[in-house]
Amino acid sequence: MDGNSLIKKFLKKGITVSPDVADYISERDFYRIMESEKNIDHIDEESLSEIRKNKKCYENGLETDIVIEKCFTGKEEGKDVDEFVQYFNDRFFRLKEFLMNRVELSDAISIGRLKGYNDREDVSIIGMVSRKYKVNSGRWIVYVEDDTGMTKVLVDEDEGEWIVSDEVVGFKGVVGDDIVFASEVIRPDVPLSREYGETDEEVYAAFLSDLHFGSKDAFGNKALKFAEWVCSGKGVANKIGYIFLNGDIVEGIGNYPGQENDLDVHDVYSQYDEFREFVDVIPEHIQVVVTPGNHDVVRMAEPQPPLPRKVCSELHDRENVHFLSNPATVTIHGFSSGGIRVLLYHGYSFDGHVDSIPDLRENAYEDPCRCMVDYIKRRHLAPMYGSNLLSPEDRDYLVIDMVPDIFVMGHTHGFSISNYKGINLISSGTMQSQTSFQKRMGHKPDPGKIAMVNLMTRDVKVKEV
């Protein structure tokens, strides 16, 4: 909100603003004043400083703690064939390790050793899928390879529909002539018996994404309404310790042809100024995690580095605001217990991945958590090369190597919550109404819903603004 609009907002409440503070008074001050028990009709330097000192309305004594476990901060450099080879090797060997931990695959052999096996002999193998095609019977021929060789695998119709290129997968079956007849397809998945994160204090984490500040369709007022509610400390708001903002912070510029017609704010820095005003309303005792999405100013290729200091430099200076990469992993509230591990991924690979699997193509736009379950089973956030733009780093940052307690994705603008093997799944919706682009694509967003997880019980409340 620009200075004039803010001053008008004060005037509507019968409060005049002295010219000496007009340049720096903020939206957050407005909420501080609204929450103040004092009767205020004029703001000058002295009264503003007094109000800023009085944090009664938004401090609740709640202690918070955040540990960053995984955040990509590497620099953008030219990539060549070697980097791609290293990247795919890293992906293969790490996912292979998860598969080797599956009891069914404990006897898996290298593909190169298949030659020594007799016809119809039982066998288990692990490989990366290079391609597949359907044969007349409806079944699928899948080509898989490891570092020792390549083989064909015959897979039944239903299982074959779920296989995508570049995923790392295990097969149990029998050996044929230059082929393996698969009876079972096994994915890395997460074990049920594992250490689960916990906290012994009732504290909440709230999850938002796709705020799209600067878009004509953005409900910036809904985002502010949420921040205002948090600031009020009413009900659960008083127990919120963490707020996650998972990408597409602003609408950006030049993301698609004709986007300029959908913009309310045409300068990207000014779009981030609107975002800063929103964060300014959030009390400082709350840890705020900000990650980028495909509309933000960082590179499109994933992993995306954190938003740079040149946008929102004031927020970078705040101790409670953490700018992280996409994807990123953090552990929160690990005081006397291990804390709760949160995996954040904006979700750009969603469209390409969902499009390649009939079941997901039909159902995942209604319920994005279906795709999230699939990612967990494959232990990868973009199993198919080409579903996202990729920057091959020294390692594959999109492998889900640490099992999260909460997995949150945005991007689809659809809101849904679910649970898979003890992991809270959150598709964090949006603060943007249906855009003309989404109307053309037939995508219906679900704006204004915010998932809030009770970190002690892992129950989820939904706040609607």
User: Can you give the binding site for Fe ion, defined by CB under 5 A?
Assistant: 210, 248
Are 396 and 90 within 8 A, CB to CB? yes
Complex with Fe ion: residue 146 or 210, whichever CB lies closer: 210
Report in angstroms how near the CB of residue 347 gets to Fe ion at its nearest.
Answer: 9
For Fe ion, the closer of residues 392 and 447 by Cβ is 447
User: CA angle at residue 298 from 221 to 440, to 5 degrees?
Assistant: 60
Nearer to Fe ion, 36 or 433 (CB): 433
Taking the complex as a whole, how short is the minimal distance between the CB of residue 430 and Fe ion, in angstroms? 6
CB nearer to Fe ion: pick between 189 and 210: 210
User: Toward Fe ion, which CB reaches closer, 210 or 396?
Assistant: 210
Could you tell me the smallest distance in angstroms from the CB atom of residue 247 to Fe ion?
Answer: 7
Quote the CA–CA distance of 135 and 362 in Å, as a whole number: 23
What is the rounded CA–CA span in Å between residue 430 and residue 214?
14
Closest distance to Fe ion from the beta carbon of 50 (Å): 40
Q: Which is nearer to Fe ion, 248 or 262 (CB)?
A: 248
Residue number with CB closer to Fe ion (228 or 248): 248
* Torsion sign, CA atoms 384, 389, 395, 399: negative
- Considering beta carbons, is residue 210 or 277 the nearer one to Fe ion? 210
User: At closest approach, how far in Å is the CB of 28 from Fe ion?
Assistant: 25
Q: How far is the CB of 403 from Fe ion (least distance, A)?
A: 27
> Are the beta carbons of 393 and 72 closer than 8 angstroms?
yes
Q: Least distance (Å) from Fe ion to the CB of residue 418? A: 20
Q: Which residue from 206, 244, 124 is spatially nearest to 173, judged by alpha carbons?
A: 124
Find the shortest distance in angstroms from Cβ 386 to Fe ion.
20
Q: Which residues contact 278 (CB under 8 A, 6 or more apart)?
A: 27, 211, 213, 220, 223, 224, 227
| Residue 318 C-beta: closest distance to Fe ion, Å | 24
Identity of the residue, 338 or 352, whose beta carbon is nearer to Fe ion in the bound complex: 352
When the beta carbons of 248 and 367 are compared against Fe ion, the nearer one is 248
Nearer to Fe ion, 146 or 248 (CB): 248
The dihedral region occupied by 149, where left means phi > 0, alpha psi between -120 and 50, and beta the remainder, is left
Q: Between 27 and 248, whose beta carbon lies closer to Fe ion?
A: 248
Q: What is the nearest approach in angstroms of Fe ion to the Cβ of residue 256?
A: 12
Q: How far apart, in whole angstroms, are the C-alpha atoms of residue 186 and residue 241?
A: 39
Residue 195 phi/psi, 5° resolution?
-80, 125
Question: CB 212 → Fe ion: shortest distance, Å?
Answer: 6
Question: Minimum distance from CB of 176 to Fe ion (Å)?
Answer: 47
